[in-house]
Amino acid sequence: ASAHEVFGSGVSGYAYNDFVLLPGHIYFSADDVCLKTNVTKRLQLNAPMISSPMDTVTESTMAINMALQGGMGVVHYNCSIREQMKEVDRVKRFENGFITDPKTLSPDATVADAMQIKKRFGFSGIPITADGQMGSKLLGILTNRDVEFVRKHSDTIVADVMTTELVTAPEGSTLEEAYQVLKECKKGKLPIVDSQYRLVGLVARTDLLKNKEHPNASKDSTGKRLVCGAAVGTRVEDRERLDSLVPLGLDVVVLDSSQGDSTYQLEMMRYIKNKHPHLDVIAGNVVTKNQAYHLIRAGADGLRVGMGCGSICTTQEVMACGRPQATAVYNVSSIAREFGVPVIADGGVSSTGHIIKGLCVGASAVMMGSMLAGTEESPGEYFYKDGVRLKKYRGMGSHEAMKKGSAVRYFSEDDRILVAQGVSGAVADRGSIKRFMPYLVAGVKHGFQDIGVRSLGELHETLYNGRLRFQVRTPAAQMEGNVHSLFTYEKSAA
């Protein structure tokens, strides 16, 4: 059957496990599959995978590694404004190519000032200019070796210990040319200067190496910095949080609400579009065409779909409200497509097969929580239970998370009695994102190969013209399609 015949009736709702895709003709290799996708009207990723803005899933470490692998991380907001700013700033500063705003010092500054920069931003190799600002004459550079044996940091000025014999590159040099200079001089930092020897930029050896190691990294419009999203609420006080995040170079803001079709979200959208018209907005969450239409009319650049389908979410059980995920994604995608608005399938994903199915019903990307919560890059520490290595994972609607601040997501911040819409639990160790994400990407590519499509654009074309065929599965068929008839077995995630 076609997608419209399966999901368009409106009577029955289907989850990812309720159907399977019929294979197509293979005429290409899995390596030929292109997974580039738009998650907003303007923002493109190299892999259709996003980490969820949950306090047990995405902070800077997760966001950095997701972007390096071609996806994107959305930093949660269950923290202070200053803490969220710190996490976003770490992502945007991680890999810069040409660093156009490096931290600089004047020759009169002390070594203690340099150590503060290193402690706050995590790097050394600080250019020293005449007035301590970009655009003034370069006098030297302060490296770890220069301060290694300095005992009295507060009493030593950088002019006395900085390196003055410098290797520089002229303004207008390409990254490849800068790499060749660094390769020859074996330095860690390469200042870029104009004809009057004024500092106009900086290139770091470590950044160039990261560029070579991660050719599919998702970069912003400058092509130099990793993409990063951040979630905010829809209260009036959340506007201050947003205004603090935008100057850091935020690429997209996610309006985080369990039910996105509200006057609060529409007002927040109007505020963003008026004050920050350049900033892309992913609105949601929604599961119906009506909800989607309201947010699209208000200016949403992307939509997040899912209500009560996450592994730790109890919204459908507690609130009797929501929709099976596959049906929700198909219906929202079918109307969003008319306006050129990409859709992100949020929740219900526990395997590469679910990722493929989410994309096959119209999503441009999937958002994952539990799939990534057990990785080394998620916040929190591992612990052992019954010999299994675990990590804590909780829903943002759990009592624990709501008490910390996420109650605003469920319009419950003023309630005397908090009604939980999620639970706290634990997930098994999945290793590092550095190994897990390539496994997920490879799995999706092989799935596309079996279906007979070479790109997401081609997949969606076959979806809407009826050539992509679906088969609804009975409970017996679902059992048959999973591991069965074995006394014992091991199932590896990667």
Catalytic residue check, 185:
no
Q: Which two tokens stand for residue 455?
A: 């790109």
Cβ–Cβ under 8 Å, residues 254 and 268? no
CB within 8 Å of 459: residues ≥ 6 apart: 359, 360, 448, 451, 453, 468
Which stretches does DSSP call E strand in 274-358?
280-286, 302-305, 343-346
Closest alpha carbon to 94 in 67, 74, 117, 115: 67
Q: How far apart are CA 83 and CA 222, in angstroms?
A: 25
Cβ–Cβ under 8 Å, residues 105 and 121? no
Other C-beta atoms lying within 10 Å of the C-beta of residue 478: 13
Q: How far apart are CA 147 and CA 157, in angstroms?
A: 11
3-class SS at 80?
Answer: coil
Closest alpha carbon to 48 in 281, 356, 338: 356
Question: In one letter, which amino acid is 168?
Answer: T
Spell out a b/e string for 102-121, using b for 16 or more CB atoms within 10 Å of the CB, else e.
Answer: bbbbbbebbbebbeebbeee
Cβ–Cβ under 8 Å, residues 365 and 459? no
Catalytic residue check, 309:
no
Residue 106 to residues 75, 123, 219, Cα–Cα distance (Å): 34, 17, 32
Residue 380 DSSP class: S
414: number of CA atoms within 13 Å, CB side? Answer: 2
Pairing of strands 470-472, 138-142: unpaired
Return the H-helix or E-strand segment holding 169. Answer: strand 169-170
CB within 8 Å of 327: residues ≥ 6 apart: 7, 12, 13, 14
Q: Which member of 228, 309, 313, 360 is catalytic?
A: 313
Return the H-helix or E-strand segment holding 317. Answer: helix 315-319
3-class SS at 226?
Answer: strand
Q: Which member of 205, 304, 409, 430 is catalytic?
A: 409
For the annotated catalytic residues, the residue numbers are: 313, 409
